[in-house]
Structure 1
Amino acid sequence: MWGTTFNRSRSEQTTVPCHECGAQLKIQRSCHEVFMRCESCDRIYDIADYVAEMDDAMERFMEGVYCDRV
C-alpha cells in the first residue's frame, strides 16, 4: 500500500533557522519541487541551501517526496 508509511503532507514546520532573519523555516512541496519558506520574512530558499542543517522534521518530510521533485 503506497502512501501508508510515507508523509504526504504539503508542508512541515522545522527547527532550521532562516539565513536572513533567524525564524524557523517550513519545508514545503509543490507539484514539481521542494523548497524552504520563511513565514516571517516571506523568503523562499532552495532546499540545497539547507541540506547540511537538516533536522528530524525535514528528514521525515523528505522521506515522502518523490525523487524527481528534489
Structure 2
Amino acid sequence: MSFFGPRDAETSLPCPACGAPLHIERSCHEVRMRCPACGTQFPLKDFIGNADDAMERFLENVYCDRI
C-alpha cells in the first residue's frame, strides 16, 4: 500500500446536478465526490454502493470505513 496515492481521480459516475463525470478526491480528513464542471460536492456515502473501477482503485489507497 502506498501512502502517497493520488488525491483525485475521474470516475464514470455522472454528477446528479449537471451530468458531467464526477471525480473522487481526498483531503487529509475526508473523501468526497466532486464535479469539476459545476463545482458541486457530494458525500462519498451517497455513491459507494455504485462504485466503479476508478473509485475502487482510488479507495485502495485511502484508510476509510466503507460500511
Q: Identify whether the pair has TM-score above 0.5, normalized to the shorter chain.
A: yes
Which structure: greater helix fraction?
A: 1
Q: Please identify runs of 4+ aligned residues in structure 1 that moved more than 3 A.
A: none
Distance 1:7 1:54 in 2: 22
Residues 7 and 63, structure 1, Cα contact 8 Å, conserved in 2: no
Helix, strand or coil: the match of 2:11? strand
Please report the RMSD computed on the Cα atoms of aligned residues, expressed in angstroms: 2.0
- Larger Cα-atom Rg: 1
Distance 2:11 2:4 in 1: 14
TM-score (norm 2): 0.87
Aligned 1:4-23 pairs, distance under 5 A: 8-23=5-20
Identity %: 51
TM-score (norm 1): 0.84
Q: Which consecutive unaligned segments of at least 5 residues does structure 2 have?
A: none
